């Protein structure tokens, strides 16, 4: 039996911690914050959080493919234009989703993906991505899975800060 790696456990822990921080932020939001515009994203906070939650499964499938040496799923080969079209369709669908449903999805997808990462071996983590010489599974976990989460969660945090600053009477520009 292959023993899970400490590095994999640390990656899974980092992924869980980033998600917990996002969950704490979103749970503390009022309805105004939840439906507010996220300027860096061009969509609402609600849609961005739903995008993160669904992204865990999409990127998780890429991680699984790399770990098992299978070809990457089609999502890994989307052009910028294709990704934008998928995100636009997703945004329309997510705009009506409740916060409770979105948070349930985020929690479930976080745990499903983290459990998989948690069980990876050092050998798995060193596996190169088929078609991308020099890039490994660790790169995909750090840059793809955790990086995707950090970028979008950062945009949500910034939108919340800017929204609160703007409504407190302090000019937004002065707070930067």
pLDDT of 166 higher than 70: no
d(CA 14, CA 84): 28
Report CA 71 to chain centroid distance, whole Å.
22
Q: In CATH, which of 3.30.70.1400, 3.90.1660.10, 1.20.120.450, 3.40.50.300 is domain 6-171? A: 1.20.120.450
pLDDT of 172 higher than 60: no
What pLDDT, on a 0 to 100 scale, did the predictor assign at position 78?
92
| Largest pairwise CA distance in the chain | 61
DSSP secondary structure string for all residues of 67-126 = HHTPPPPGGGG--HHHHHHHHHHHHHHHTT--HHHHHHHHHHHHHHHHHHHHT--HHHHH
**pLDDT tens digits, one per residue of 90-123:** 999 999 999 999 999 999 999 999 999 999 999 9
What pLDDT, on a 0 to 100 scale, did the predictor assign at position 167?
59
What pLDDT, on a 0 to 100 scale, did the predictor assign at position 165?
62
Q: Which residues pair with 136 in a beta bridge?
A: 128
Confidence at 164, pLDDT banded by 50, 70, 90: low
What's the mean pLDDT in 114-136?
A: 94
d(CA 55, CA 152): 10
d(CA 149, CA 136): 19
d(CA 75, CA 77): 5
* Helix, strand, coil shares, percent, the chain, to 5: 75, 5, 20
Rounded to two decimals, what is the model's pTM? 0.90
The mean predicted confidence, pLDDT, of the chain is 91
DSSP summary character for residue 146? I
Return the domain boundaries, the chain.
Answer: 6-171
Indicate the range of 10-14, 106-110, 130-134, 135-139 predicted with least confidence: 130-134
């Amino acid at each position: 039996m292959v023993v899970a790696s400490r590095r994999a456990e640390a990656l899974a822990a980092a992924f869980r911690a980033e998600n917990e921080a996002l969950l704490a932020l979103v749970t503390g939001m009022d309805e105004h914050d939840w439906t507010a515009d996220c300027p860096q994203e061009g969509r609402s906070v609600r849609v961005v959080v739903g995008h993160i939650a669904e992204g865990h499964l999409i990127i998780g499938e890429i991680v699984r493919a790399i770990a098992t040496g299978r070809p990457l799923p089609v999502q890994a080969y989307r052009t910028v234009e294709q990704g934008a079209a998928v995100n636009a369709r997703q945004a329309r669908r997510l705009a009506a989703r409740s916060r409770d449903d979105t948070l349930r999805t985020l929690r479930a997808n976080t745990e499903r993906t983290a459990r998989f990462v948690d069980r990876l071996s050092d050998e798995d983590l060193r596996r190169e991505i088929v078609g991308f010489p020099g890039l490994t599974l660790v790169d995909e976990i750090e840059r793809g899975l955790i990086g995707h989460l950090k970028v979008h969660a950062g945009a949500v945090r910034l939108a919340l800060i800017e929204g609160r600053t703007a409504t407190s009477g302090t000019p937004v520009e002065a707070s930067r």
